[in-house]
Amino acid sequence: MKHLMIILLFSYPLFSFVSDPKPQTAVTVAEDYTDPFSMISEGETLLKEGDLVVRLNRDPMSQYIKNFNRHDKRFSHAGIVLYENGYPYVFHIINGEENPDEKLRKDSLIRFCNPRKNIAYGIFRYDMNAGEIKILRDLIHTWYNQGLQFDSAFNLKSDDRMYCSEMIRKALIKATAKRISIETTKLTNTEVRLFSAYSHHPVSYISNLQIVCIDELYINPFCHEIKEYNYDN
């Protein structure tokens, strides 16, 4: 089975589909830095509460996940910035070795974007007012205090467990009274088979899922890019 998964992970890009790109704001890449930690330090000064931070991990699994993105395959994981005692934390939910208890967690930017484990990260900003950001903050803090866990079933219809992009989508919908609504995606037949192998769920189950792709979080009329940092450039 492990050999099958390795073959699937590295062959998936060959099956990536082509989609008409949505309009995007100009990408700003920090090319004047050679030190990744300087990129993180600068990024921290740009953060505001409610910002979306996305990253691309060096792990092959991230290369697999990013290929589910329909329009932009730069990133594979996401979190929301909230300030505590004047310091920004990235709230995100993930499974695997990075997060064995699979609960919603908060990390400093330098931990979330650790260049030893990641290739790149980006900062995006939603068009939200102060009232909406407060609702967002209170909601995510509630989920954090409740110990919200990762949704290995990838089921958008349930709220007791969530995966990263699902959590952000639902938080935005509630905070803005549905003014900001992130699109969901139905998998292709090829993606269904691959995702079934990845998630260990039957094809019949996966074929009925709608998922929240990472790029849908920021490629929409309510979000604009602040800056992208690529450590390998």
pLDDT band at 208 (very low <50, low <70, confident <90, very high): very high
Q: What is the pLDDT of residues 105-122, one digit of tens each?
A: 999 999 999 999 999 999
Beta bridge partners of 80: 52, 91
pLDDT band at 33 (very low <50, low <70, confident <90, very high): low
CA nearest to 77, candidates 166, 17, 138: 166
Choice among 57-66, 116-125, 183-192 with the minimum mean pLDDT: 57-66
* Ordered structural domains, the chain, with CATH: 23-230 (3.90.1720.10)
Q: What is the pLDDT of residues 80-100, one digit of tens each?
A: 999 999 999 999 999 988 999
Question: What's this model's pTM, rounded to 2 decimal places?
Answer: 0.86
Q: Is the pLDDT of residue 123 over 60?
A: yes
What is the sign of the dihedral through the CA atoms of 215, 219, 220 and 224? Answer: positive
Q: Which two tokens stand for residue 116?
A: 């030893």
Q: Is the pLDDT of residue 16 over 80?
A: no
The pairs formed by 135-142 with CB atoms below 8 angstroms and a separation of 24 or more are 135/174, 135/175, 136/50, 136/80, 136/171, 136/172, 136/175, 137/49, 137/50, 137/82, 139/171, 139/174, 139/175, 140/80, 140/82, 140/91, 140/104, 140/167, 140/171, 141/82
Average pLDDT of span 55-80: 94
